[in-house]
Structure 1
Amino acid sequence: MDGNIDSKFRVIVVGGGSVGLTAAHALSQAGIDYVVLENHSSVTTDVGASLVLWPHGLRVLAQLGLLKPLRDASVGMCRTQSVTLTGEKYRDSHVLDAIFENFLLPVTAHEQTIFHRAHLLRVLHENFGEADKACILTDKKVTDIVVNDDGVEARCADGSTHHGSILIGVDEAHSVVRQRMHELAVKASAPKVNPEQPYLAEYRALWCTFPRQQGVGTGDAIDVHGDGASLQCIEDIEAFAARFGDHAISEHLKVKDVFHQRYTAGMANLEEGIVKHWSWDRIVLVGDACHKFTPNQGLGYNNGVQDVVRLLNELRRVVPVDGSATPSLGALTKAFSRYQASRKKAVKKDYKSSFETTRMSVWSSWAYYIIHRHLLPSIYPVERKKDG
């Protein structure tokens, strides 16, 4: 068996978003020393739209002691509606609520919940103790990563250098950690090297947050569908919103009705892909840094949470309980390999599901059109009401 190095085990987490802060909670609960390096000036910046937490993800966060504040900051998803770009409603169903109530709740004891992204970040940050908050460092733009026999260094634009035993890249789809890992692997002539750009984007999305409108219930999920509606790409957010202003977002509302009321807005390419190699040397990737889904099913954050769980479980197998020693590089790389292998099947399944849901949303083929416009509404028709 590989021997341990006589030095305290410490984790550098690059990225203080939702998955990065979740990783920090898990590391704290496990008694593992860590530091989080976040590029922005705050970890609770209001950037991004909604975020869905599925029962298996909520169960993990409940085990981290976050259930009550999370429920206070979220609403349950209970009703789904589908409308065309002209506002014609062709599906109205409480089937999701029925599925969770009758099948999933008895097993998981948790429901499917929706958050405003900034509210989730606030809950994650506010529920750290003072000692943990001191480990969350902002304005730390990582510019270089150096690995050596004893550990890893993250060097930041402000001149600071942070030392650790391993480095976890949780810095989203445009991961600096993944890019630097690629460069280091190429330089070392590693046999397993990822492509420099592992993700592709076929669609682009405009998002905005705005006050709940009359006629839209709390927990309602409304999806809008049309032929090629998401295939247009315009650089300017205002121009994009104006171009599609007459497109419906519910039976009685259009984009132009709510965009001027927005709190925040943005536009992003919907990148997709699964990175082939999730680790190299003392560097390991988690969440969107190693797999990116389209957002229609809300599976991105949930998979990031599951990554954190699997990776921490593997680290607990090789790191002493008191964290007093660092496992050898051989032991760590084997743990990273087991982590990726344990996530492979679930990630591929959710990637495929998200891929198909997005194509179905824009009716990208006749098959998707028939399924979503005619077959599903025949099963869950308009005006189907929840009992009671």
Structure 2
Amino acid sequence: MTHHPNTDVLIVGGGLAGLSLAGYLQRQGVEPTIIERVPEWRDAGYGIGLWEDGLTVLDELGLLDAARGRAADPRGFAVRAGGGELLARASLPPAQILLLVIHRADLHAVLRENVPSDWIRMGTAPEDITEHADGVTVTFDDGTTDEFDFIIGADGVHSAVRSQCFDDWRKRESDTYVWSLWAEQDADVGQDMVSVWGPGSEGFVARVGDRVGFNLAARLDSPPEPPGRAALRRQAEAIGWQLPALLDGTDDEPFFDRIRDVTCEHWHTDRIALIGDAAHAVHPISGMGASLALQDARVLAQELATSRSDRPSDAFANFESRRRAAVTRVQRMARVEAAITFLESDSLRRLRNSIVKHTPLFDMFIKRQARND
């Protein structure tokens, strides 16, 4: 569709997907309004891996070097059994950057620097969204009302846009909980990105400059009281290797959350579209959630810029058509990966570990991730 300087676009959610989309729209001469429900930006979040699809977006936005300055470029990806036994290691080509490991807050800061601050309204959420033939009327929680040509819901797994404007979606609450801690430490964890498999749990460890970060995810019968540091201690000790020492090395309060995924039968109406976790939150075991969000922004911006129709719905439909298969594949693989990783049976874990150790399956998996097949 043809953009005009006075096109009024509302992006609900100032996360990775929303900020990436704003960066692309800025290049098309569009100045979107971004609303974010929290009153100030937070430094919490997971450590994430960005594979080639996500790196492509950063490169196109001119942000790859800035992201690399805050990230690690691991040369290998290792998997260990509880206690530390090395099961497999896959090397990444030294001549290519196929993977960056970065804390979500650092990636968010890089994307935020690319968007004018006066486009962003903090501490604001949509209270009522009414779509009509010529646009969308939004009443905000401060009582103000405004009109927009179209709206993009980039407001995550708990999306207000999805809840108000779509009824063919499902949010699944997992029995798995996740903690994340990133702090300056001198622990010897090597330069690889490491996944350590415990009973019904996984630790993810990576060094980024002076900091060592670890995520720990575990299946629990009942949720601990946030931030659940006592439960984190029990899980770290059950996994072993360097995780107890890493926990000893910082008094910081961990980021803590419950894992959820989202599936939607449709990602758009005539003038409203969902992107990122609002449309398709995936289990973080996939390591692909951030890359999916960034690619959503890229493809939607392309369709908005190149559509010959004046109706946003045509661009939205093309966007969904291009992205649906990739998202479905990642969601399907994430469910398989979670089932394999979070095994609780001792005998099944021994069998899994033996297969990983004595076959090339892990190396094949990493190469597939790198190619985004």
Q: CA deviation at 1:306?
A: 1.3
Shift of 1:133: 2.0
Q: Following TM superposition, by how much is the alpha carbon of 1:31 offset from its aligned partner in structure 2, in angstroms?
A: 1.6
Greater mean deviation of Cα atoms: 148-157 or 28-37 = 148-157
- The alignment of Structure 1 onto Structure 2 pairs a total of residues equal to 342
Aligned to 2:79: 82
How far apart, in 2, do the equivalents of 1:41 and 1:81 lie? Answer: 39
**1:97 matched to which residue of 2?**
92
Give, in whole Å, the separation in 1 of the partners of 2:280 and 2:55: 20
Q: How does 1:155-194 map to 2 (within 5 A)?
A: 155-182=139-166, 193-194=167-168
Structure 2 CA distance for aligned equivalents of residues 307 and 262 of structure 1:
37
Tell whether 2:291 aligns with 1:291: no
Change (3 A) 1:5 1:355: closer
Task: Give 1:171 deviation, angstroms.
Answer: 0.4
Equivalent residues in 2 for 1:79-228 (5 A)?
79-85=76-82, 87-93=83-89, 95-98=90-93, 101=94, 105=96, 110-128=97-115, 132-182=116-166, 193-195=167-169, 197-218=170-191, 220-228=192-200
Which of these residues, 212, 216, 219, is aligned with residue 231 of structure 1?
Answer: 219
Q: For residue 196 of structure 2, give the secondary structure of its aligned residue in structure 1.
A: strand
1:85-111 Cα offsets, whole Å, 9 max, x none, are 3x1313252x2424xx47xx3xxxx42
The correspondence for 1:64, drawn from 42, 51, 61, is 61
| Residue type of the alignment partner of 1:60 | V
Change over 3 Å in CA distance of 1:203–1:178 after alignment to 2: same
- CA-CA distance at 1:42 after TM superposition: 2.5
Structure 1 runs of 4+ with >4 Å offset: 3-7, 364-368
Give the structure with higher Rg (CA): 1
Superposition deviation, residue 318 in structure 1: 3.3
CA distance in 2, matches of 1:241, 1:264: 11
The answer to which of 259-268 and 10-19 deviates more is 259-268
Partner of 2:235: 244
Matched position secondary structure for 1:171: coil
More divergent stretch after superposition (344-353 vs 268-277): 268-277
Report if the CA contact (8 A) 1:79-1:92 is conserved: no
**3-state SS of paired residue (1:280):** coil
Distance 2:25 2:32 in 1: 7
Partner residue, 1:266: 255
Pairwise CA distance, 1:72: 0.8
| Structure having the larger proportion of residues in strand | 2
Is 1:360 the counterpart of 2:340? The answer is yes
Gaps of 5+ in 1: 183-192, 320-326, 382-388
Change (3 A) 1:366 1:380: same
- Whether 1:333 and 2:305 are equivalent positions in the alignment is no
Question: What letter matches 1:228 in structure 2?
Answer: G
Contact 2:52/2:99 (<8 A) preserved:
yes
1-structure distance, mates of 2:351, 2:322: 33
Q: Distance in 1 between matches of 2:281 and 2:91?
A: 25
What is the aligned counterpart of 1:26 among 16, 24, 27? 24
Listed as ranges, the gaps of 5+ residues in structure 2 are 202-217, 362-373
- In 2: Cα distance, 1:362 partner to 1:61 partner: 32
Query: How far off is 1:70 after superposition?
Result: 1.1
Equivalent-residue separation in structure 2 for 1:259 and 1:145 (angstroms): 48
Q: Residue 112 of structure 2 aligns to a residue in which SS?
A: helix
Q: Distance in 2 between matches of 1:341 and 1:370?
A: 41
What do the CA deviations read for 1:247-280 (whole angstroms, capped 9, x no partner)?
Answer: 235x2442x7516615341322221242111012
Query: 1:164 Cα shift?
Result: 1.4
Task: Give the SS at the match of 2:322.
Answer: helix
> Alpha carbons of 1:276 and 1:137: their partners in 2 closer, same or farther (altered >3 Å)?
same
Deviation of 1:364 (Å): 6.0
* TM-score, normalised by the number of residues in structure 1: 0.79
* CA RMSD across the alignment: 2.8
Percent of residue pairs identical: 24
Contact 1:140/1:158 (<8 A) preserved:
yes
Q: Which TM-score applies when normalising by structure 2?
A: 0.82
